[in-house]
Amino acid sequence: MDSIEILEKLHRIDRERLHLEKTVALLQWDQETYLPEMGVEERAEQLALLESIAHERLTSPETEKRLSELGSTAENPQGDEKLPPLERDFLKTFRRKYDRAVKLPATFVSEAARAEGLSQAAWVRARQDNDFSAFLPHLVKMIDFSRRKAVYWGYEDNPYDGLLDIYESGMGEKEIGAVFTPLGERLKELLKKIASRPRPDNSFLDQDFDIDNQACFNMDLLKRLGFDIRRGRMDISAHPFTTTLGSDDVRITTRYLKQQVQSGIFSTIHEAGHAFYEMNFSEVLRGSCLADGASMGIHESQSRLWENVIGRSRSFWEAMFPALRSYFPAALSSHTAEEFYRAINLVEPSLIRIEADEVTYSLHIILRFELERELFSGALDPVNLPTAWRKKMKDFFGIEPETDAQGVLQDVHWSMGAFGYFPSYALGNLYGLQFWEKLSCEIPAVDEQIRAGNFTAIHAWLRDTIYVWGHRLDPQDLLKTVTGKELSAEPFLGYIESKYSVIYGF
């Protein structure tokens, strides 16, 4: 067999892996949207079976055989130098998936999955009961499983690096800390300045906004943003998410709160940003492991760019507010686009990450990053986590949660063992503004276009500059390729400081 034939066989294995992954994604999407309440238990069994089949097929001896026939090894994942660059990128990415899967013993995987299930259930109860001690033994187990996972996969300096690498390949705690620490300081300063200024009025957002009308407006908005409903859809779920069920089947969800019309709107825009990325990888990557985002952080850069930089801009609401007002004349007819813009950009210290504004959001992330780092270095004993949480909240925001439910128990991530995931949210903010800086140079009148509700040039630039790469480049390489620069918080800080100094007048 020549290398073309072997590559074909490997692409077929990859394509089947993808189909199984997408089938799992459908089972999950359905669970979050339409599954009847009593169907949950059997769905868990279906998911476990499909995941084990996917694992079994990916790690079959044929995969290793084909990879090594093409010269791909742990040391030289890209394989034979004579292969075309695209195929070498494919081999690198595919081998990474294969290695990740094959390095974890099957017993460990199923043991961890069972423990995660129990841990999540315990977390739900503990949060309800505001009882951290009931969750503690599960948290300890989750840390232990994550540590063992990092050992199986290998890491350079410390286990936490091995976990960060899952979500943001090439980024360790040193690299992230070097950016996050000064970012946190600057944001804390900014927050103090803002707190000294009068608070804009956002009380008119507390009115009732009919849910059906919200659904109509959001669908309208989604289409105006350029979402192609022949290749995707939008449904409702408790926690909004984006999932890709096929190259031409990218689905987002949103949710509507009667008294906070902005909640649904920004969920919709955020998830649409993820979807635009997923819908526009280069055609040549279609159906392979390269048809994927570069990393969690890069993915988040796209959702946050649409949600915040575009979606929370004055220009955007000059374009969209008339439509919004037409859906809610009673609530909004006496208000202007400018008032709405100020109301949705209100900044204040708050307890809950997912409700945070653009300025404080990254602080919530830095807090979690610092705690994770201490948990894995051993400097922080999990039993002391609630105290450490409160102390950092006081330091970062000047407020403290009254309960652990509103504090250390608020997020699902740790209960699932997803340590190292949080940083990607704040990295997304940074990447996003680095990309936007470049985009603004290359599309000079971008603000005018947003004001006209015209996103064509933005879509084209993002597609041709970022999306086209899919998973071919690691996040830092993509950043360098697109912007010519290394990771930096400056564009983000510049954007935040200039936007909010105008809103708050300092």
- In the shown chain, the binding pattern of residues 171 to 210 toward its own copies, with x for contact by CB under 8 A and - for none, equals ----------------------------------------
Q: Which residues are identified as catalytic? A: 271
Largest CA distance in the chain: 73
Q: Is 46 among the residues that bind its own copies (CB under 8 A)? A: yes
d(CA 53, CA 109): 13
Residue 28 contacts by C-beta under 8 Å, 6 or more apart in sequence?
47, 243
d(CA 430, CA 232): 28
We find the least distance from the C-beta atom of residue 241 to its own copies, in angstroms, to be: 16
Q: Rule CB under 8 A: choose which of 144, 157, 206, 248 binds its own copies.
A: 248
Residue 506 contacts by C-beta under 8 Å, 6 or more apart in sequence?
193, 194, 196, 197
Q: In this chain, which stretch among 34-42, 139-147, 161-169, 182-190 interacts with its own copies, using CB under 8 A?
A: 34-42
| Helices H / strands E in the chain, number of each | 21, 3
Q: Is the alpha carbon torsion for 157, 158, 162, 168 positive or negative? A: negative
> What's the order of all strands across the beta sheet hosting 249-254?
232-236, 249-254, 242-246
d(CA 337, CA 328): 13
Q: Rule CB under 8 A: choose which of 23, 213, 262, 449 binds its own copies.
A: 23
Cβ proximity to its own copies: between 105 and 287 the closer is 287
| Residue 129: both structure tokens together | 């009961």
Q: Is 61 among the residues that bind its own copies (CB under 8 A)? A: no
Q: Is 11 among the residues that bind its own copies (CB under 8 A)? A: no
Q: Is 41 among the residues that bind its own copies (CB under 8 A)? A: yes
Cβ proximity to its own copies: between 3 and 110 the closer is 110
Q: Among residue numbers 274 through 313, which ones bind its own copies (CB under 8 A)?
A: 287
Q: Is 49 among the residues that bind its own copies (CB under 8 A)? A: yes
Q: Is 100 among the residues that bind its own copies (CB under 8 A)? A: no
Check if the beta carbon of residue 277 is closer than 8 Å to that of residue 305. no
Cβ proximity to its own copies: between 47 and 140 the closer is 47
Q: Is 402 among the residues that bind its own copies (CB under 8 A)? A: no
Cβ proximity to its own copies: between 175 and 228 the closer is 228
d(CA 143, CA 291): 31
Q: Name the residues that contact its own copies, by CB under 8 A.
A: 15-16, 19-20, 22-23, 26-27, 30, 34-39, 41-43, 45-46, 49-50, 53, 229-233, 235, 245-249, 251, 287
